[in-house]
Amino acid sequence: MALELWHNRDEQASRARLSDAALERFIGENRRFILRCASRTCKRFVTESDEEYEVALVAFCEAVRAYQPEAGGFSGFAALVIRRRLMDFFDQRTRRSAEIAIGSAMTWEEDAPVAGGVLAEVQQKLVRESFDGHRSVRDEIEAVGEVLSGYGFGFFDLADASPKAGKTRDQCARAAAWMLADPARVVKLRKTRGLPVKELSEACGISRKLLDRHRRYIIAAVEIMDGDYPQLAEYLHHVKRAMRDESGSSGNQR
């Protein structure tokens, strides 16, 4: 019975290539097949109201148009096309999310030029492969994301954790600069996976409540500035400034 169904589908696919009416009937008879292929790729139950179904439906039609009976069965070919198109869709959606999220996350630097500024720059870098052997912004995001996952959050969580007010942003920058001023503090941070809120509060005169609220931002800033993320570090202007001030203050104390 299953073999008959597969052969019947092959014949129907061949006819559907030649007639819009036949294609419409063929789609209607194979909605469950399309949903099953989409669900298998998405690793979750997909319904006809999901965007992924629309992608799979278009891919199914593409498979019909490209199908060559002599190359093999239609079902396997269609499943492959659906999977590939959904994977492309996921990649594009991830790229769009990255562009939006990093734009939100980078609002931690609001003194950057507004017109065509930080978000536009990062969007361009995200969609453009880097040259001269340098990693792209996306590569850096993925790399630092793995590091931040050890602290229990991801890079794109920074969109909500980043300070918006100028004064708060400056205080967070001072906290990050204080951590970075002593390599032993960074080593301890990575070992304990926790920000020394009490010590930071006393050393920098910043409230514990503020440090707790923006803990993720401070940790991310420390990891980015202390790691090999030159393109992301370019957006941390406030932290760089605070690091210079911290260095000057330490020098004066000596």
Residue 229 lies in a domain: yes
Residue 62 lies in a domain: yes
Q: How many domains does the chain have?
A: 2
pLDDT of 147 over the 60 cut? yes
As a whole number, the mean pLDDT across the chain is: 78
- Considering the domain architecture, whether residues 34 and 115 belong to the same structural domain is answered as no
What pLDDT, on the 0 to 100 scale, is given for residue 119? 38
Domain boundary among 93, 119, 141: 93
Assigned token pair, 225: 């500035």
- Considering the domain architecture, whether residues 49 and 170 belong to the same structural domain is answered as no
pLDDT tens sequence across 173-196: 999 999 999 999 999 999 999 899
Are 34 and 57 in contact by the 8 Å Cβ rule? The answer is: yes
Domain housing 64: 2-93
- Considering the domain architecture, whether residues 133 and 249 belong to the same structural domain is answered as yes
- Considering the domain architecture, whether residues 229 and 133 belong to the same structural domain is answered as yes
Residue 104 lies in a domain: no
What pLDDT, on the 0 to 100 scale, is given for residue 96? 55
Best mean pLDDT range from 44-53, 135-144, 163-172? 44-53
- Considering the domain architecture, whether residues 122 and 85 belong to the same structural domain is answered as no
pLDDT tens sequence across 21-80: 888 999 999 999 999 999 998 888 989 888 899 999 999 999 998 888 877 788 888 999
Q: Report the candidate in 97, 95, 70, 68 with the shortest Cα–Cα distance to residue 81.
A: 68
Residue 102 lies in a domain: no
What phi, psi does 115 have (nearest 5°)?
Answer: -70, 115
Return the minimum-mean-pLDDT range out of 70-74, 82-86, 96-100, 169-173: 96-100
Q: Report the candidate in 34, 57, 32, 36 with the shortest Cα–Cα distance to residue 45.
A: 36
